[in-house]
Structure 1
Amino acid sequence: MAAKFSVPIKIISFSILLFITINIVNGQAQPNQSTLVFYLQDVGKGPKATVSPVIGINGKVWSYNTFGTIFVVDDPVTLSPSPFSTLIGKAQGTITVTSQDGANVNIVLSIVFNDVQYAGSTLEIQGTSRQRDNLRELGVVSGTGRFRFARGFAVFETISYDPTSSESVIRLTVTLAIP
Structure 2
Amino acid sequence: MQLLPVLISLTLLLVGAAATRKPPTHLEFYLHDIVTAVPLSPATAVRVARGVTPLPHNPTIHFGDMYVIDDPLTEGPELSSPALGKAQGLYIFASRTDMALMQTFNMVFTAGPHNGSTIAVVAREPILDPVRELPVVGGTGSFRGATGYVLFRTYSANGTNSVIHVNMCVRARV
Structure 1-normalised TM-score? 0.79
One-letter amino acid of the counterpart of residue 101, structure 2: V
Give 1:23-42 correspondences, 5 Å limit: 25=14, 28=18, 31-42=22-33
Q: How many aligned positions are there?
A: 165
In structure 1, the residue corresponding to 2:148 is in which secondary structure?
strand
Name the counterpart of 1:169: 163
| Residue 167 of structure 2 corresponds to residue 133 of structure 1 | no
In structure 1, the residue corresponding to 2:145 is in which secondary structure?
coil
In structure 2, the residue corresponding to 1:117 is in which secondary structure?
helix
Following the alignment from structure 1 to structure 2, what is the Cα–Cα distance between the partners of residues 38 and 64? 29
In structure 1, the residue corresponding to 2:114 is in which secondary structure?
coil
CA deviations 1:19-65 (Å, max 9, x no partner) are: 773587379566411110110112121361111211023x5569784
Q: Which runs of 5+ in 2 are unaligned?
A: none
Structure 2-normalised TM-score? 0.81
Following the alignment from structure 2 to structure 1, what is the Cα–Cα distance between the partners of residues 115 and 47? 29
Name the counterpart of 1:86: 82
- Supply the RMSD in Å over aligned alpha carbons: 2.5
8 A contact 1:64–1:97 mirrored in 2: no
Name the counterpart of 1:101: 97
8 A contact 2:75–2:81 mirrored in 1: yes
Following the alignment from structure 1 to structure 2, what is the Cα–Cα distance between the partners of residues 64 and 90? 26
Q: Percent identity?
A: 30
Following the alignment from structure 1 to structure 2, what is the Cα–Cα distance between the partners of residues 155 and 72? 21
Name the counterpart of 2:36: 45
